[in-house]
Amino acid sequence: MVEAYILIQTELGAAAAVAAATGELPGVVTAHDVTGPYDVIVKAEAPDVNELGRLVVSRLQGIEGITRTLTCTVVDL
Looking at residue 16, its pLDDT comes to 97
Looking at residue 49, its pLDDT comes to 94
Range of the domain at 51: 2-73
Give the chain's domain count: 1
Strand partners, 70: 7
Give the type of residue at 32: H
Phi, psi for 72 (deg, rounded to 5): -115, 105
| Strand ranges in the chain using DSSP code E only, listed in sequence order | 2-10, 28-33, 40-46, 66-73
Q: pLDDT, tens digit, for every residue of 13-69?
A: 999 999 999 999 999 999 999 999 999 999 999 999 999 999 999 999 899 999 999
> What pTM does this model have?
0.93
**CATH (domain of 22):** 3.30.70.920
Helix-then-strand count for the chain, H and E: 2, 4
